[in-house]
């Protein structure tokens, strides 16, 4: 292939038809120019950008809560503040504390015998202009959260929120345009055409969070530009309760996690594996917890609305199919109605469903929990391994060696022992998937490294044998002979 035939890194064609795409292209070009003029912002400037982000989140705390309620129909204020505001601020503060150390050159070993006084180090270099495609379920945590590490790494950022959360998307655009120059951070809002055009831009890095199916399309679009991608995808996260672990506290942890965003969370428990003899105990603990925590759950203050009617209808179909197959279904409240107008439904357990039911095949992403009975722990492990590699895996076991043995025999993006989902809440630990649950990591240092170019730098000193690599090769031959006779 001649140099003229290589794929050009061009902007979207057809932009003239869609003002949102024209604007996106202009913002992208402006960021590229700004990056070319300032390739390596220093520590103080990066810190300032992150402090601006903290101020932006604090100033808009109440508006964020209101926008979430508008898009979801219902969204508990406590959960909005904790996850979408304070969680993001805590993540930013952690980065501020550690950024200086992460930015420092990382020295590498150099063999003094052959390379004399030469030295080597890895320089974490900004990548450039980074895109972030965001899903609807955590409109702020998944847009502003990764932005922290993208900015910490010295990049410029364009965010594309989900079209399913228009109030949050509009608020984010407003907040960001008040806080930042668009040549540093910009928010592009629009529909599917814009989303496609976004993933086709020649980013220096592209983060996509969403379903595996769209993840495939995003990765294919990025491949045309050889753009590196981080894919944060979904799937079915299992909880495995080892014999003896079906206690009130542990069942509360499973169901309590399910209540967060009403199950619409990538690290939620998708299904729970329980020793056959403990199935009834699980049901009783689950009922008792919900009676205590949210007795009229779907009508009460703890519920998050289902994002769309289409999604609610899909969940209702999953339940109906289970009911038609004679599964026992246990709603964890008295009112069993599915409220289409309010986009609410009860939290329900589906006991021991057959593996070919749709709810055992696709990610549930809502208030339905299949509770699958197993006879031997090895059967439960085989069930997990028969599926795709999950984003999160949760093991409940009193004996740490049992938990470790389950971890050793399975593969997942992250895992938690004796609780659920907490592996995703630490700024000190990289977060991401494996296989169909994704690739790459963000959060804290892992995110900083992901959005940096780890440039390896070698600095020649004195007294080395580097000229052995150059012709004539008599010196190389002598060196090889000496090395072979010494070994």
Catalytic residues: 232, 266
Token pair, residue 405, equals 């043995």
Can you tell me which of 87, 131, 135, 366 binds ligand NAD, judged by CB under 6 A? 135
Token pair, residue 52, equals 């601006």
Tell me how far, at minimum, the Cβ of 165 lies from ligand NAD, in Å: 8
How far apart CA 322 and CA 350 sit, in angstroms, is 7
Tell me how far, at minimum, the Cβ of 197 lies from ligand NAD, in Å: 9
Tell me how far, at minimum, the Cβ of 199 lies from ligand NAD, in Å: 4
Q: How far apart are the first and last CA of the chain?
A: 44
For tokens 């050793």, what's the residue?
408
Could you tell me which of 226, 201, 207, 160 has the C-alpha nearest to residue 15?
Answer: 201
388-427 residues near ligand NAD, rule: CB under 6 A = 391
Kindly state whether residue 158 participates in binding ligand NAD, applying the rule CB under 6 A: no
The answer to whether the peptide bond before residue 251 is cis (omega within 30 degrees of 0) is no
Kindly state whether residue 250 participates in binding ligand NAD, applying the rule CB under 6 A: no
Can you tell me which of 60, 209, 245, 304 binds ligand NAD, judged by CB under 6 A? 209
Chain residue whose CB lies nearest ligand NAD: 234
Binding segment (CB under 6 A) for ligand NAD, from list 24-32, 131-139, 313-321, 398-406: 131-139
Binding-site size, ligand NAD (CB under 6 A): 29
- The crossing angle, in degrees rounded to 10, of helices 192-199 and 212-223 is 50
Task: Decide whether 187 or 377 has the Cβ nearer to ligand NAD.
Answer: 187
How far, rounded to the nearest angstrom, does the alpha carbon of residue 448 sit from its chain's CA centroid? Answer: 14
Tell me how far, at minimum, the Cβ of 169 lies from ligand NAD, in Å: 9
Strand, coil or helix: 373: strand
Task: Decide whether 206 or 279 has the Cβ nearer to ligand NAD.
Answer: 206
Strand, coil or helix: 394: strand
How far apart CA 83 and CA 66 sit, in angstroms, is 14
Give the β-pairing of 229-232 and 438-439. antiparallel
Strand, coil or helix: 35: helix
175-204 residues near ligand NAD, rule: CB under 6 A = 192, 195-196, 199
Tell me how far, at minimum, the Cβ of 437 lies from ligand NAD, in Å: 7
How far apart CA 368 and CA 63 sit, in angstroms, is 30
Q: Which residues contact 112 (CB under 8 A, 6 or more apart)?
A: none
Kindly state whether residue 210 participates in binding ligand NAD, applying the rule CB under 6 A: yes
Binding segment (CB under 6 A) for ligand NAD, from list 13-21, 50-58, 82-90, 214-222: 214-222
How far apart CA 193 and CA 196 sit, in angstroms, is 5
- Beta strand spans in 233-287 (E): 238-241, 271-275
Tell me how far, at minimum, the Cβ of 294 lies from ligand NAD, in Å: 23
68-87 residues near ligand NAD, rule: CB under 6 A = none
Phi–psi pair at 209, nearest 5 degrees: -120, 125
Kindly state whether residue 233 participates in binding ligand NAD, applying the rule CB under 6 A: yes
Could you tell me which of 41, 39, 23, 38 has the C-alpha nearest to residue 201?
Answer: 23
Kindly state whether residue 214 participates in binding ligand NAD, applying the rule CB under 6 A: yes
Tell me how far, at minimum, the Cβ of 307 lies from ligand NAD, in Å: 8
Could you tell me which of 392, 404, 383 has the C-alpha nearest to residue 433?
Answer: 392
Can you tell me which of 75, 127, 160, 343 binds ligand NAD, judged by CB under 6 A? 160
How far, rounded to the nearest angstrom, does the alpha carbon of residue 403 sit from its chain's CA centroid? Answer: 24
Binding segment (CB under 6 A) for ligand NAD, from list 112-120, 206-214, 290-298, 322-330: 206-214
Question: Contact at 8 Å (CB) between 183 and 174?
Answer: no
How far, rounded to the nearest angstrom, does the alpha carbon of residue 50 sit from its chain's CA centroid? Answer: 20
Task: Decide whether 118 or 211 has the Cβ nearer to ligand NAD.
Answer: 211
**Dihedral, CA atoms, 78, 157, 70, 214, nearest 10 degrees?**
-100
Kindly state whether residue 450 participates in binding ligand NAD, applying the rule CB under 6 A: no
Tell me how far, at minimum, the Cβ of 407 lies from ligand NAD, in Å: 19
Task: Decide whether 66 or 214 has the Cβ nearer to ligand NAD.
Answer: 214
Task: Decide whether 163 or 321 has the Cβ nearer to ligand NAD.
Answer: 163
Kindly state whether residue 136 participates in binding ligand NAD, applying the rule CB under 6 A: yes
Tell me how far, at minimum, the Cβ of 432 lies from ligand NAD, in Å: 7
Phi–psi pair at 134, nearest 5 degrees: -115, 140
Can you tell me which of 145, 154, 234, 430 binds ligand NAD, judged by CB under 6 A? 234
Can you tell me which of 363, 366, 422, 444 binds ligand NAD, judged by CB under 6 A? 363
Task: Decide whether 163 or 335 has the Cβ nearer to ligand NAD.
Answer: 163
Can you tell me which of 137, 143, 183, 230 binds ligand NAD, judged by CB under 6 A? 137
Binding site for ligand NAD (CB under 6 A): 133-137, 142, 160, 162-164, 192, 195-196, 199, 209-211, 214, 217-218, 232-234, 266, 363, 365, 391, 433, 438
């Amino acid at each position: 292939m001649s140099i003229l035939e290589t794929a050009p890194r061009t902007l979207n064609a057809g932009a003239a038809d869609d003002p949102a795409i024209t604007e996106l292209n202009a913002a992208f070009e402006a960021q590229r120019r700004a990056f070319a003029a300032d390739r390596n912002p220093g520590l103080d400037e990066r810190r300032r950008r992150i402090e601006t982000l903290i101020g932006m989140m604090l100033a808009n705390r109440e508006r964020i809560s209101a926008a979430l309620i508008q898009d979801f129909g219902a969204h508990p204020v406590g959960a909005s503040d904790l996850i979408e505001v304070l969680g993001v601020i805590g993540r930013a503060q952690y980065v501020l504390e550690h950024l200086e150390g992460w930015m420092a050159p990382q020295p590498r070993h150099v063999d003094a015998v052959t390379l004399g006084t030469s030295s080597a180090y890895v320089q974490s270099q900004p990548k450039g202009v980074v895109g972030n495609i965001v899903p609807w379920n955590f409109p702020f945590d998944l847009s502003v959260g990764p932005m922290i590490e993208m900015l910490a790494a010295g990049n410029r950022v364009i965010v594309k929120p989900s079209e399913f959360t228009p109030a949050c998307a509009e608020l984010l655009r407003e907040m960001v345009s008040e806080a930042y120059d668009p040549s540093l951070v910009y928010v592009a809002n629009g529909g599917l055409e814009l989303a496609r055009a976004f993933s086709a831009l020649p980013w220096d890095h592209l983060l996509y969070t969403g379903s595996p199916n769209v993840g495939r399309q995003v990765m294919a679009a990025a491949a045309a530009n050889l753009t590196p991608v981080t894919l944060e995808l979904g799937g079915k996260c299992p909880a495995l309760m080892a014999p003896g672990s079906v206690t009130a506290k542990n069942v509360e942890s499973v169901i309590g996690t399910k209540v967060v965003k009403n199950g619409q969370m990538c690290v939620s428990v998708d299904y729970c594996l329980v020793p056959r003899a403990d199935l009834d105990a699980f049901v009783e603990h689950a009922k008792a917890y919900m009676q205590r925590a949210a007795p009229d759950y779907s009508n009460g203050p703890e519920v998050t609305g289902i994002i769309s009617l289409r999604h609610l209808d899909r969940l209702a179909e999953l339940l109906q199919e289970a009911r038609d197959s004679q599964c026992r279904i246990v709603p964890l409240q008295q009112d069993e109605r599915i409220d289409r107008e309010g986009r609410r439904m009860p939290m329900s357990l589906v006991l021991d469903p057959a593996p070919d039911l749709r709810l055992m095949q696709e990610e549930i992403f809502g208030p339905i929990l299949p509770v699958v009975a197993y006879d031997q722990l090895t059967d439960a492990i085989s069930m997990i391994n028969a599926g795709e590699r999950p984003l999160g895996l949760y093991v409940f076991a009193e004996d740490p060696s049992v938990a470790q043995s389950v971890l050793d025999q399975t593969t997942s993006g992250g895992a938690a022992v004796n609780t659920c989902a907490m592996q995703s809440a630490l700024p000190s630990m990289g977060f991401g998937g494996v296989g169909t649950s994704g690739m790459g990591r963000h959060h804290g240092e892992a995110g900083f490294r992901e959005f940096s170019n780890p440039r390896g730098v070698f600095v020649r000193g004195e007294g080395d044998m580097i000229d052995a690599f150059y012709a004539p090769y008599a010196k190389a031959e002598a060196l090889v002979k000496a090395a072979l006779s010494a070994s």
